Amino acid sequence: MGTIREIRFENRFTNFLPSDSETENRERQVYAACYSRVTPAKVKDPKLVAHSKEMMALLGVDPLIGDDVDIAAILSGAKNLPGMDPHAMCYGGHQFGHWAGQLGDGRAIALGEVVDVNGQHQMLQLKGAGPTPYSRSADGLAVMRSSVREFLCSEAMHHLGVPTTRALSLVGTGDAVMRDMFYNGNTKPEPGAIVCRVAPSFVRFGNFEIFSSRDDIENLRKLADFVIETQFKEIDVLDPDKYVQFLNEVVSRTAEMVVEWMRVGFVHGVMNTDNMSILGLTIDYGPYGWLDNYDPNWTPNTTDAAQKRYRYGHQSQVAHWNLAQLANALYPLVGKVEPLQAAIDKYKTVYEKKWAVMMAAKLGLPNLWEKPNKQIADLALKVLELTETDMTIFWRQLAEVSSGIEVGAEDRIKPIKKAHYKPEDLKPENKGEIHAFVDAYTTRLRLLNINDGERREKMNAVNPKFVLRNYLSQIAIEQAESGNNEPVNELLDVMRHPYDHQVNNQKYAELRPDWARTKPGCSQLSCSS
């Protein structure tokens, strides 16, 4: 392992795709370009708050970086390394179902592509590093609360097994940033911060949409060919059907990503097409949230509170709609509707198959293709809504239910009672439905001759004990804002092993406390949160 100064840059994106001809960093419409070169803003006093040891190691950097005095400056954009090529991408997007025109990296500046220890390319991108031509009158900066949330969630999602961009570091800038958290006129200074995000590519659906919307077919083709050649090596670049194959692959990856969201109870909160990765990675952690009590209609985004377009139970449909917009953007390269429509139509089938496999694993059943197994899954989801029930704890505790015929009815349901926020509010008829579900479930387990111990082990491998509950992040945020970084790093360590018992960290797996039910940052958030 070496130092961060030894990272090797190989900037394919900026070397092979068209750049903005204008060099002045001012807000404007950018045409015929995939990106604009920009310089990160200078920060007052960069200090490393936290870093991902795994990501440091992947980049060939010694994870024990305490003696590297320059690392905070480098990962805040204040100090350049040889080979860096800072830039912000140009893209458009549909926001809440409506075309928004040019958007672009308004507060994200990529430092360049590096080659990791496996020989794979990774883009390093700073979020909160200052204005770009795409900032739309904003300052391009980020604050500690939103940066802690992005840093922790990126890594938590990875360790949960959810496709995601990663986070290399979290740096406090020493600057005060003015923010109105809920856009209600309550502006105040907050400590600034920058997250270094990492992904093989940050290209989104919106990168294709902007060129298509402007009838810039030449650059649309350049971008598509570049993405296929660099990110989809399984596709033959000489195949005349390569763009359709590309769409099919994006469809499959997107379906897989959303199924994984549903598995762990994650709600993205702002599934605009500019926030959809062509690699099927979870990208742009803004007003996201985790289901505490199971509610398919819950959204964490205050902007979406009325419409609830991006609610938990609607994420699959939104992904389907977004993919259709990508297909529309690719149409000029294909010239035929039918193969593009066939790819989009495939989404529902792919999603349902992946969802069925996922749900069977959560239940510890071999499949959902058999009708009795599917009925068990339907009953489980119904039971989750009978009373305020913690989703994460419910699935974890279901593994503890005994299928032994000698176990009494009350003892049999005792494990899942721990998932109820207010067990005293449970109506007698609802309690009866819970008994009926558990009886049906355990009867099925006995019929299939499924061993409880083996089932528990398999269920615990897909049903996490620890997720990044909003209130846990908020506690860490408040400490980091006061200069105490220890809770951020402690929480990061817990989230590195979400499926392990971690008996000494039980406090991170408890029911959401009452005080967090309506507290800002713990319930709903704005896009600036």
Residues serving a catalytic function are 274
Alpha carbons within 13 A on the beta-carbon side of 293? 18
- The contacts of residue 55 (CB under 8 Å, 6+ apart) are 155, 166, 167, 168, 198
What CA–CA distance (Å, rounded) separates 243 from 375? 40
Give the pair of three-digit tokens for residue 150.
């992005």
26 is written with which tokens?
A: 């001012």
User: CA 479: distance to chain centroid?
Assistant: 24
User: For residue 235, what is the enclosing H or E element?
Assistant: none
**Beta pairing, strands 188-199 & 108-115:** unpaired
- Rounded to whole angstroms, how far apart are CA atoms 519 and 335? 51
Task: Please tell me the distance from the alpha carbon of residue 439 to that of residue 311, in angstroms, as a whole number.
Answer: 31
Cα–Cα dist 69/419, whole Å = 46
Q: How far is CA 212 from CA 43, 93, 224, 333, in A?
A: 37, 11, 11, 10
Tell me the chain's radius of gyration from C-alpha atoms.
Answer: 24
Half-sphere exposure of 420 (CA within 13 A, CB side): 18
Phi and psi, residue 126, nearest 5°: -95, 130
Angle, helices 470-481 vs 144-160, to 10°: value is 140
Residue matched to tokens 């599917």: 374
Let me know the angle formed at the C-alpha of 215 by 209 and 220, rounded to the nearest 5 degrees.
55
Burial profile 448-462: b = 16 or more Cβ within 10 angstroms, e = fewer:
eebebeebbebbbeb
Cα 346 to its chain centre, rounded Å, is: 23
CA angle (214, 220, 225) in 5-degree steps: 175
